[in-house]
Amino acid sequence: MSSPSKRREMDVMKLMMSDYTVETINDGLNEFNVMFNVYTILPSLCLYHIVSSYIPFVHGHEKMSGLYEGGVWKVHVELPDGYPYKSPSIGFINKIFHPNVDELSGSVCLDVINQSWSPMFDLLNVFEVFLPQLLLYPNASDPLNGDAASLMMKDREQYELKVKEYCDRYAKKENIDASAAEDESDEEDISDGHCTSSDDEIAGHADP
């Protein structure tokens, strides 16, 4: 059995070899950002076999997948020292309107990551199965975004319009690039060692 550090390296390399853009932080593999392109992922999913049970992704769900289709999100990933025996922390950096994603922090509420994680899973499962499943099948009964959950249950048409509005406003590659440029500009403006408190919440840092 490979060591946790070796497994971490292998899983990140598998992401990169599967055409995911991975931006490492502080030149390490414990913390990084991944570009999650829904347009290329959701339409290609049909059936995935995971630990003797099938999770269905069928082309009959075009309407649901269409809500987020075309969106591009930067997803923050933190791997604990015990990975893969402990689950990764996953959070959306740019905004997404979804019942199971906290709008402010980007934290994700997904049982397979938060409660049912197994070392048999890897990062490719997260981005090719678990997150697409989250977008296809939002669970309004266990929300992190109460407004999204309430709107989804009470007025599905308005909920879908709100999802598309967020996708158009926040989930385009040009929006992410512009945000990154603004962040770099802000960093250059900081002088004399002054910075924000370390206790401030950073978008995209999900709770494990």
DSSP letter assigned to residue 107: B
Contact call for residues 179 and 94 (beta carbons, < 8 A): yes
Q: Provide DSSP, 46-77.
A: -EEEETTEEEE--GGGHHHHHHHTT-EEEEEE
pLDDT at residue 198, as a whole number: 36
Q: What is the pLDDT of residue 87?
A: 96
Check residues 59 and 27 and name the one with the higher pLDDT: 27
Residue 158 has a pLDDT of 97
Instruction: Choose the weakest-confidence range: 25-34, 72-81, 145-154, 169-178.
Output: 169-178
Q: Which amino acid is at 198?
A: S
Q: Please state the φ and ψ torsions of residue 109, each to the nearest 5 degrees.
A: -105, 100
**Long-range Cβ pairs for the range 145-154 (8 Å, 24+):** 145/97, 145/98, 145/99, 145/100, 145/101, 145/102, 145/103, 147/103, 148/97, 148/98, 148/99, 148/103, 149/99, 152/99
Domain boundaries of the chain, sorted by first residue: 4-44+67-175
- Helices then strands (H, E): number in the chain? 9, 6
With vertex at residue 202, the alpha carbon angle to CA 112 and CA 29, rounded to the nearest 5 degrees, is 60
Catalytic residue among 46, 109, 167, 195: 109
pLDDT of 140 reads: 94
Higher pLDDT, 98 or 2: 98
Answer yes or no: is pLDDT of 42 > 60: no
Q: Is 109 a catalytic residue?
A: yes
Mean pLDDT of the chain: 79
Long-range contacts of 173-178 (CB under 8 A, 24+ apart): 173/72, 175/94, 176/35, 176/72, 176/74, 176/94
Q: Tell me, what's the pLDDT at 179? A: 67
CA dist 67 and 163 (Å) reads 6
Distance of CA 101 to the CA centre of its chain: 9
pLDDT of residue 193: 39
Question: Which has more confidence, 193 or 110?
Answer: 110
Q: Does residue 11 sit in helix, strand or coil? A: helix
Residue 111 scores a pLDDT above 80:
yes
Percent of the chain predicted with pLDDT > 70: 71
Q: What is the pLDDT of residues 113-124, one digit of tens each?
A: 988 999 999 999
pLDDT at 139 over 50: yes
Cα-only R_g, the chain: 17
pTM assigned to the model: 0.76
Other beta carbons less than 10 A from residue 149's beta carbon: 20
- Give 4-44+67-175's CATH code, choosing from 3.10.110.10, 3.40.50.300, 3.50.50.60, 3.90.1150.10: 3.10.110.10
- Asked if pLDDT for residue 33 goes beyond 50, the answer is yes
- Decide which of 42 and 103 is more confident: 103
Q: Confidence class of residue 125 from pLDDT cuts 50, 70 and 90?
A: very high
User: Whole-angstrom Cα distance, residue 147 to residue 167?
Assistant: 17
